[in-house]
Amino acid sequence: MRRPSPLVMVLCILFFDMLCQGMAYPSMPSLIQKLGGLTPAEAARLYGWLIASYAIAELIGAPTLGILSDRFGRKPILVLSCISASVSFLISATAQSVPVLFVGYTLAGLTSAMTVVGNATIADISAPEDRATNYGRVGAVFGIGFVVGPAAGSLLAPLGLRAAFFAASGVMAVAAVLALVFMTETRKSTKESAFSWQEVLPWEGIRALARYPLPKKLSLSVALNALSLQMLIAVWVPYCSLRYGFGVAENGWLLAGFGIVMAIGQAVVVPWLVPKLGLRRSLAVGLTISILCQTGYGLSETWQWLLFFTAISALGGIDEPAMQAILVDPISEEERGAVQGGLASVNSLMGIVGPVLGATLFATFTGLGAPVYLPGAPFLFGAVCIALGFAWSFWSLRSTISK
């Protein structure tokens, strides 16, 4: 039997990953509230710390796994990551206390490598002119996963808050088997030289990133965009629950709609618009629209306005594949996994700061004694972050190329 192409397999694994995250996402704040006996504001703050615990663990694990994938191949690391995800969802499904949820999320973060190794695999197999399109396909897969995942979570909601976590554990177990059986290796092992644990320490990915002037500079823009995204992820469900009165099912369907928009943006808009605009203009257009949408989310008085800004965010999705294509172009084949791990470290740092900051802003501006009632404060601050990243990106591109 002919094996699927590595691109198809990577996209399938990333789809399963996002599907499972999407299934569990709408239920987690409510599960925290139930296990801890907390108010919605207290649960939102603790949820921010839970996401931060994942990011702290990923900060350690992702660079190491990216470097290991350069040395031993992409396939074994992908299989390991799928198995770990299955176990972590099972831990969450059976947790009887909030600290056990933290154990599950920490385990998942330590062995989370699907995006890092997936991006490195795409760089392995893609010609330079095809990379933005293929990275756009990754975004489309994320979008589709975020359509099916929250919709499935909504359908599972009547079975209880834990049902989605049990289902996600099973799906990731299937993904591990598929990766083991059908994935074709794209990176030859470099086992010939003596192995040293020094070369897989987490900060080695940062050092690899720092060896390339343009990716090193653009990493600040990546950080600011990631900070905005992490704040959005942390407060989206509590925000919609508080401001629009949404429950688990409504939040799930809204996230599914968000995923549809993302899938359309990455599968249709990116292949059509990026070649016409070029990478730089695509980056500029995408970031501008993202600033508009974040501002709109924060100021939307009704859920209809929220849907409107969600719909136009499809055009904003062209910035990420354009940025990835710009970043990966100067990187040598031998260090793609390491540099992707370094970029994952940057994202993980923001994954620590963003959820805590977003949840804190949300609680501060919605709780008792709020200086002003402004539930959209995290989104408005996120818009400022993206604007700063926009300015830094184009200064970096101009100054590096002029040298």
Each residue's pLDDT tens digit, 307-366: 899 888 877 778 888 888 888 777 776 676 777 777 777 877 887 888 889 988 998 998
Q: How far apart are CA 123 and CA 333, in angstroms?
A: 8
Q: Which amino acid is at 190?
A: T
Q: Are 145 and 15 in contact (CB under 8 A)?
A: yes
8-state DSSP, 187: S
Average pLDDT over residues 273-298: 90
CATH class of 6-183+205-402: mainly alpha
For the record, the structure tokens of 198 come out as 């020094």
pTM of the full predicted structure? 0.69
Q: How far apart are CA 43 and CA 40, in angstroms?
A: 5
What is the number of alpha carbons within 13 Å of residue 183 lying toward its C-beta?
27
Q: Which amino acid is at 58?
A: E
8-state DSSP, 2: P
pLDDT band at 402 (very low <50, low <70, confident <90, very high): very low
The domains of the chain are located at: 6-183+205-402
Q: Is the pLDDT of residue 127 over 60?
A: yes
Q: How many residues does the chain have?
A: 403
Cβ neighbours for 131, distance < 8 A, ≥ 6 positions apart: 122, 123, 324, 325, 328, 329
Cα separations in angstroms, 145 against 19, 152, 242, 358:
4, 10, 25, 24
Q: Which amino acid is at 128?
A: P
Q: Is the pLDDT of residue 29 over 60?
A: yes
pLDDT digits (tens, 9 = 90+) for 83-106: 999 999 999 999 999 999 999 989
The residue among 384 and 116 whose pLDDT is bigger is 384
Task: Give one word for 44, left, alpha or beta, with left for phi > 0 and alpha for psi -120 to 50.
Answer: alpha
